[in-house]
């Protein structure tokens, strides 16, 4: 059973048809202590206004989703993408979010060179560190599932995130976001979570549905899939993580279709179990 003070529900878990004020009101009404805000929605409502909303509601922030996509082989494009990450870091600081969830970027059809894309991502992160430090917001490197390697993230495993952190040698300002959905299949995940240790600064939870129908938007509610979630939670906690358990479910065909109060009630019910 999860300590209810550690429950965090990401904005993207509830239907994005909700405005940010409607979303925050749903959290307050249901006594959800924390969230991670979604950048598009935050900018739509305004960063300062959103900061005030969550502060007034007494909602804590686990992080800000997301910044990144810096792997372009075109130097100008990549520089503009890094500037966009700097703006996202500024917004996270203004919101009071401790980290920016960082999504590396994919493989460009123009060069089809995944090794080069990984190299550009790592170099690009190194360039972003001074700005992250100056605003006091950690970059939470999030390995994403290999099925979105081409489109979203060449950072595909916790092992590679550890390798990058070793190279960056900046554990004060770079961490790792472990997402159960992205990493559960990895034969090395237990070892690499242990190796990550206190680098783990964010823990995202959802389940893998046996009949998954979409590469991004068909995540499952905890308990509806095949991931041994208690095992992964024990792993990150043994590594030293004691922060929020962050429910992040992209679900176009199911949960996004439902009422916010209902979704939150189901989440509360499921985290009573050992997830």
CB of 275 to a second copy, least distance (A): 11
Within 18-47, the residues that bind a second copy by CB under 8 A are: none
Within 171-210, the residues that bind a second copy by CB under 8 A are: 184-188, 208, 210
- 108 vs 246, beta carbon nearer a second copy: 108
Q: Tell me the number of residues near a second copy by CB under 8 A.
A: 35
Q: Fill in the DSSP letter of residue 257.
A: G
Count the helix, strand and coil residues of the chain and give each as a percent rounded to the nearest 5. 50, 15, 35
- 89 vs 154, beta carbon nearer a second copy: 154
Tokens of 48: 């300062």
**Per CB under 8 A, does 73 bind a second copy?**
no
CB of 87 to a second copy, least distance (A): 26
- Rounded distance between C-alpha atoms, residue 47 and residue 70, angstroms: 23
- Rounded distance between C-alpha atoms, residue 230 and residue 40, angstroms: 32
CB of 244 to a second copy, least distance (A): 23
Among 88, 103, 139, 160, binds a second copy (CB under 8 A): 160
Among residues 174, 180, 220, 232, the alpha carbon closest in space to that of 204 is found at 180
Instruction: Indicate the SS3 state at residue 275.
Output: coil
Within 209-268, the residues that bind a second copy by CB under 8 A are: 210-213, 215, 225-228
- Rounded distance between C-alpha atoms, residue 86 and residue 126, angstroms: 13
Within 130-159, the residues that bind a second copy by CB under 8 A are: 145-147, 149-151, 154, 156-157, 159
- 90 vs 163, beta carbon nearer a second copy: 163
- 33 vs 73, beta carbon nearer a second copy: 73
The answer to whether 65 and 108 are in contact (CB under 8 A) is: no
Q: Fill in the DSSP letter of residue 199.
A: G
- Rounded distance between C-alpha atoms, residue 204 and residue 55, angstroms: 23
CB of 111 to a second copy, least distance (A): 9
- 131 vs 152, beta carbon nearer a second copy: 152
- 27 vs 154, beta carbon nearer a second copy: 154
Q: 112 vs 104, 116, 128, 132, 235, CA distance in Å?
A: 16, 9, 25, 30, 35
Q: 37 vs 62, 103, 122, 209, CA distance in Å?
A: 9, 15, 25, 25
CB of 209 to a second copy, least distance (A): 8
Task: Compute the residue count for the chain.
Answer: 275
Give the residues lining the site for a second copy (CB under 8 A): 106-109, 112-114, 118, 145-147, 149-151, 154, 156-157, 159-160, 163, 184-188, 208, 210-213, 215, 225-228
């Amino acid at each position: 059973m999860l300590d209810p003070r550690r429950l965090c529900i990401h904005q993207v878990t509830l239907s994005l048809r909700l405005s940010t004020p409607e979303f925050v009101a749903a959290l307050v009404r249901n006594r959800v202590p924390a969230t991670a805000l979604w950048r598009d929605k935050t900018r739509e409502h305004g960063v300062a206004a959103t900061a005030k909303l969550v502060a007034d509601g007494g909602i804590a922030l686990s992080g800000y989703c997301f910044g990144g996509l810096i792997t372009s082989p075109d130097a100008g494009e990549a520089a503009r993408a890094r500037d966009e990450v700097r703006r996202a870091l500024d917004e996270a600081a203004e919101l009071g979010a401790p980290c920016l969830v960082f999504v590396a970027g994919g493989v460009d059809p123009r060069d089809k060179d995944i090794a080069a894309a990984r190299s550009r991502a790592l170099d690009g992160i190194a360039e972003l560190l001074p700005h992250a430090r100056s605003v006091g917001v950690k970059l939470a490197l999030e390995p994403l599932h290999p099925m979105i390697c081409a489109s979203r993230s060449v950072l595909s495993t916790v092992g590679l995130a550890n390798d990058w952190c070793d190279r960056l040698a900046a554990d004060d300002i770079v961490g790792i976001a472990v997402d159960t959905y992205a990493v559960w299949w990895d034969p090395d995940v237990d070892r690499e979570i242990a190796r990550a240790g206190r680098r783990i600064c964010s823990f995202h939870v959802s389940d893998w549905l046996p009949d998954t129908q979409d590469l991004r938007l068909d995540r499952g509610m905890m308990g509806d899939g095949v991931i041994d979630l208690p095992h992964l939670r024990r792993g990150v906690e043994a590594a030293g993580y004691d922060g929020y358990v962050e429910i992040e479910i992209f679900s176009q065909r199911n949960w996004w279709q439902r009422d916010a109060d209902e979704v939150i009630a189901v989440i509360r019910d499921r985290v009573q179990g050992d997830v």
